[in-house]
Amino acid sequence: MEINYKSISQSLKSNSRETGPRIYCKKLDKVIGGLNNKVYKTDFASKVSEVIYNSSPAEYYEHTLKEYNTKISKSGALIAYSGIKCGRSPMDRRIVHSTKYQADLWYPKNTTINDKVFYTNKETAICFLNNCDKIYVFDGYVCWHPKYKTKVRVISSRAYHCLFMYNMLIRPTKEELMNFGEPDITIYNAGCFPCNRYTESMTSSTSVNLNLETKEVVILGTQYAGEMKKAVFTMMNFFMPMKGVLSLHSSCNISKDEKNVCLFFGLSGTGKTTLSADVERKLIGDDEHCWHDDGVFNIEGGCYAKCIHLNPEKEPDIYNAIRFGSLYENVIAHPETREVDFNDSSVTENIRVSYPIHYIDNVHIPCVTGHPNNVILLTCDAFGVLPIVSKLSTKQAMYHFVSGYTSKVAGTEDGVDEPEAVFSACYGEAFLLCHPMKYAELLAEKLQKHETNCWLVNTGWVGGKYGAGNRCDINITRDIVRTIHDGTLKNEAFKPFKLLDMEMMMPQKYNLPRDEWNDKEKYDDTLASLEMLFKDNYLKYN
């Protein structure tokens, strides 16, 4: 089966915008192919769809604003809504069984489906898209390094999805678009239409399918834009390590003289985005990177920032990037002024904004740099037992990287009354398709080869756990990160801190965590409990 197109224009229509030509359908007969690339006649054979191809942000605005409840914010950013699903649906993600890659895949978090189920869902998606009056197609790239540049095609029934990917992918030049050819990765976003729940292996009306052999993504039953971003990242997380390239769920920045590079790892709430968006340094990227033989490059062409409680004073780079062309997802704005309320989580706690990376003032373009001088692992330890900062050996770095520890605090979710440990392998377990130790071994190899320092920085509680102690002040954390960047911290005198059987080293000038607690016995018990959680979690990977 293929999508049918109305041949509006046979010529390329160019204008002044940076993405180059506007193509209103150059008879794109191969945008969507059917089962095994054969063409099947269907009830939709006479249906004529208009293809809106690689449009400008302004035109995406015009199409999106025709949808119910969309609007333009006071800053000029577009506000769109994703419907019932306001976040990813990890329990509904499926990887197509692959005989070719069987030996390389790691399955615990990734339920597989067979080819028949995949093509059933793909057929459903194509039938839905074929029945739309308009479909939106965007061609772009991931991976800033020319050697690894990968072509991605997005096909959706909603204009806002293509604006989102316009922001998140690397936008092609006019010449690149004219010679784009066949994509390496294709995303069929039919999220407005549910999957058939009676199809084998379906657990709800939502289904996100990744086929590694055909490099296709099929989305049904969820309109949340982040599914597309993370599906592409998941594929990069599989194919890059096979080339000896370490894919990373991290942010990255460099000094203004471009001689000092730092990678930041951290789960939600640890401060990764805030600390990497530094007015004194240039941003390489905020979320997805690769570390290869020549250095680090950003995978994406934009940023997708969580903006609940966004503070313009603490996060000016993000706040100032929100303007015309940026896209809000699921935020609430004042009905008259259109001022966005960053504290309103009535739709979801996961309110987001996407924007092209060049909207950040301190950005390094192209988003490619040298090898990291420092790697910072961030954790928000709500138990209050970890040092504020400690230097890690390569072995310790591997352990903490595989553990990916942080914690939830009381009140963030229903039923969470006490601090709760959270572990996510490699700080992005949901997006891993290889065994976590494969990534950890690549990390260790690169840390040693390039003599990169690794640090564990606690942005959580000191002097007691959540409810008793205090959260570390962001300005103190920034000072610590600054001394890591300028090299002064590694020249400090160090003292040991023992976690499990590993003796980490922390700067002499900071108190041991135990010294900050009034109840020493309670500290010892809390630390012992956390150590047991670390041990139990790590057993999964051995």
Please tell me the distance from the alpha carbon of residue 522 to that of residue 528, in angstroms, as a whole number.
10
Cβ neighbours of residue 110 under 8 Å, at least 6 residues apart?
93, 94, 95, 433
Residue from 92, 89, 219 nearest 165 by CA:
219
**Residues catalogued as catalytic:** 88, 230, 249, 268, 272-273, 287, 352
- Whether 158 and 230 have beta carbons less than 8 Å apart is answered as no
Q: How many Å apart are CA 392 and CA 505, to the nearest integer?
A: 7
* Amino acid at position 22, single letter: R
Q: What sign does the dihedral 464-470-471-477 (CA atoms) show?
A: negative
Q: Among 392, 387, 391, 377, which Cα is nearest to 511's?
A: 387
- Which tokens go with 343? 């504290």
Question: CA angle 243-229-353, nearest 5°?
Answer: 140
Residues 6+ apart with CB under 8 A from 201: 94, 111, 113, 117
Q: Are 149 and 368 in contact (CB under 8 A)?
A: no
CA–CA distance, 133 with 47 (Å, rounded to integer)? 8
In angstroms, how far is the first alpha carbon of the chain from the final one? 45
